[in-house]
Amino acid sequence: MPIVRRSMGAGNELTPEEHEAARLRIQAAAKRPYTYDPDCPLLTKEQLAEFRPVNFDSMEERARHMETVGKMEPVTV
């Protein structure tokens, strides 16, 4: 299945026909079997359990978190 890319500017919406075609492509892709890729193997349940959300309320909150996990030097203002 080819990669389909679409870029829309403000005010440009999909036509009903385009919307339906996209919906059908998504449904067809969801039904395709998984193809193993040695460069990107499936994660184990343990690996999946390690994922944590990274959406922070502010950049300051993100910076504090990065400091606590040792990924960033403390910033002093």
Q: How long a stretch of residues is the chain?
A: 77
Q: How far apart are CA 38 and CA 45, in angstroms?
A: 18
Domain boundaries, the chain: 16-68
Model pLDDT, residue 7: 75
Q: Convert the pLDDT of each residue in 2-40 to its tens digit.
A: 777 767 777 788 889 989 999 999 999 999 998 888 898
What separation, in Å, do the N-terminal and C-terminal C-alpha atoms of the chain show?
52
pLDDT category at 75 given cuts 50, 70, 90 is low
Token representation of residue 50: 């390690």
More confident residue, 60 or 5: 60
Model pLDDT, residue 35: 85
Three-state DSSP class for 66?
helix
